Amino acid sequence: MIKLLSDIEYIAAFRANDQAVITAYYKRQREPFIRDISKNFHISNQEMLTDIFQEAIVRFWRNIQEEKLTEATLTGSLAGYLYKVGVNVVHETFRREGKSIAVDVENERIPHVDPIGMEIVRGVEDEQNVKIRRTVTNMGEPCSTLLLEFYWDRRSWESIAFDHNYADANSAKTQKYKCIQKLKALFLKP
Amino acid sequence: MTNLEKTILIDRYLAGEMTEEEKVSFERLLSDTDSSYTDKVSLKDEMNLQKEIILAIQERGLREMLQREEAKIREDEEHHRRIRRITLWSLSAGGTTSAIAAVFAFMLVISPMAQLMQNYSNQYVAGVEVYASRGDDELTQSLNEALLLMQSDQWSEAEKIVDAVYQPEKNAEVERQDLYDEAEWLKTVCLMHRGKTIRAKRMLRKIANSDSHYQSRAAELLKSL
C-alpha cells in the first residue's frame, strides 16, 4: 500500500518515474480533478474529461522531467498546479474544436501557481518535439519493446536479454543503441 | 568517432554511468562550439535530441500506463454498477416475492382464522355471565366491567382494563389464581376479537399448556383453528 506523500515527495517520485506512486497519484486526483473541471467548464462528456485529466498528468510529469516544476519552484499546492495545467488543456481543446469557453467564474477554483509554472503550462509546443513523440509512438519492433522496457519499466539488461532471446545483456544493449541511433538519424539534419 | 559511438557516449553521460574523468572530458566536448565534428551537428544538439527521444519513450510508457489504469478504473466502476444493479434487482424481486407470499398467507390462512376467532369471541361474550358471584373485590369488579364493555362492543376499553389485571410478570404475587386465569382468558378473547391472530394463538397455546381453568377450552379452540 502506498502511503500519502507530501507534494515534495510526489515531485521526486514523478522525476524518478516511480510507476506505483504515479498510479496512486492518478487515482487520488482523478475524481476531484474531473469534478472541478466538469463543474467549472460545464463539460459532461466523461470521455472528454478523462482525456483532459490524462493529458494534464502527462504535461505535469513532463514539466517535472524538464525541471520546469521542481521542489523549489512549487509555491502553491501540487493539486492546484495540476488543475491549472488541466485548465490550459481545456482551453486548448476548446480552441482546437472551435468552441467558446463557458467558465463558471464564481466557482472556479484558481489555485496559486508560480509564474514559472504558468509560463510552462501556456507554452507552445516545440514542433520538433511533437514529431519526435509521433515517431516514438509509431516505432516498430524490436525497438518499441526494448526501449520501453529499459527507459520506462527500468528492467535490467539481463532480464530483457533473457525475455527477448538476445545472446546476452550486451547484445540487447547494442540493439538499444542502434534503435536510438535510427531514431536520431530521422531528426538530425547536417 | 562514429555516430553509434557518439550515441553510446551520450547515453552513458545521461544515465550517469561515466567516471568523473570521463564526465569532465565529455562536458568539455559539449561546450566546444568550434565543432570538431565533420557532420556539423554539435554534440550538445545531439545530446538534447537524444534526451528528447528518451523523454518521448518514457512519455509513451506513461500514456500507456495511464490508459491501462483508466481501463481498470472503468472496469471496477462497471463491476460496482453491475453489483448495485443486481442488488437492487434482488431486493425488488425479493420484496415483490415477500409481498406476494404475505398476500397469499393472509388470504389463505390468516384471514379465515381471524374470522373464526372473531366469531368465537362474539359468541363467548354474548353467553358468559358476569363474575359478580365470585366476589366483590376490586379485581373482580374490574373484570366485570371489562366483560360488560366487551358485551357493548367496546373492545379496546375492555382490553385496557383486562391488562391492568392480567400482568404475567406479577403472576407469582397474585393471590387469587382464578382471577388471573379469568384475566388471561379475557385478554385472549380481546386479542381474538381485534384480529391479532398470531398473539391470540400464542396465548391459547400458553393456556392449553397450563393448569388454567380454561386449559381444555383453549386446546379445543386451537384444534378448530
For A48-57, the pLDDT digits (tens) are: 999 999 999 9
Q: What is the pLDDT of residues A6-33, one digit of tens each?
A: 888 899 999 999 999 999 999 989 999 9
Residue A180 domain boundaries? 127-187
Whether A32 maps to a domain, the answer reads: yes
Measured CA to CA, the distance from residue A40 to residue A87 in angstroms comes to 10
Residues A32 and A58 in one domain: yes
Residue B177 phi, psi dihedral angles, 5° rounding: -60, -35
Domain boundary among A122, A151, A178: A122
Mean pLDDT of the A58-78 span:
90
CB atoms within 10 A of CB B41: 17
Q: Name the DSSP class of A22.
A: H
Query: A115 with A147, same domain?
Result: no
| Residues A25 and A118 occupy one common structural domain | yes
Tell me the per-residue pLDDT of B174-214, one tens digit each, with 9 for 90 and over: 566 777 788 888 889 999 888 888 889 898 999 998 888 78
Same domain? For A132 and A68 the reply is: no
Contacts of A60 (CB under 8 A, 6+ apart): A14, A69, A81, A82, A85
Q: What is the pLDDT of residues B76-109, one digit of tens each?
A: 888 888 888 888 888 888 778 888 887 887 777 7
pLDDT digits (tens, 9 = 90+) for A133-176: 888 888 888 898 999 999 999 888 889 999 888 888 889 888 98
Mark whether A72 and A12 lie in a shared domain: yes
Q: Which of A51-55, B20-24, B144-148 shows the highest mean pLDDT?
A: A51-55
Contact residues on chain A for B64, CB-CB shorter than 8 A? 148
Interface test with A, best of B10, B44, B62 (most A CBs within 10 A): B62
Contact B65 A22 (CB under 8 A): yes
Same domain, A51 and A80: yes
Chains A and B form CB pairs within 8 A to the count of 94
Asked whether residue A2 is assigned to any structural domain, the reply reads: no
Report yes or no on A58 lying in a domain. Answer: yes
Closest to B146 (Cα-Cα) out of B193, B113, B114: B193
Q: Quote the percentage of chain B above a pLDDT of 70.
A: 88
Domain total of chain A: 2
Closest chain B residue to A30 measured between Cα atoms?
B70
Out of A105, A122, A139, a domain closes at A122
Locate cell 536479454: which residue?
Answer: A161
First CA to last CA distance, chain A? 51
What is chain B written as a DSSP string? --HHHHHHHHHHHHTT-S-HHHHHHHHHHHT-TT---TT---HHHHHHHHHHHHHHHHHHHHHHHHHHHHHHHHHHHHHHHHHHHHHHHHHHHHHHHHHHHHHHHIIIIIHHHHHHHHHHHHHHHHHPPPGGGG--SHHHHHHHHHHHHHHTT-HHHHHHHHHHH--GGGGGG-S-HHHHHHHHHHHHHHHHHTT-HHHHHHHHHHHHTTT-TTHHHHHHHHHH-
Cα B161 to Cα B118, B153, B156, B184: the distances in Å are 20, 14, 9, 12
Same domain, A132 and A91: no
Confidence of residue B41 (pLDDT cuts 50, 70, 90): low
- Does the distance separating the beta carbons of B7 and A26 come in below 8 Å? no
- Which residues from A are below 8 Å from B54, CB to CB? 151, 180
Q: Which residues of A touch B14 (CB under 8 A)?
A: none
pTM score: 0.60
Residues A115 and A36 occupy one common structural domain? yes
A167, A95: one domain? no
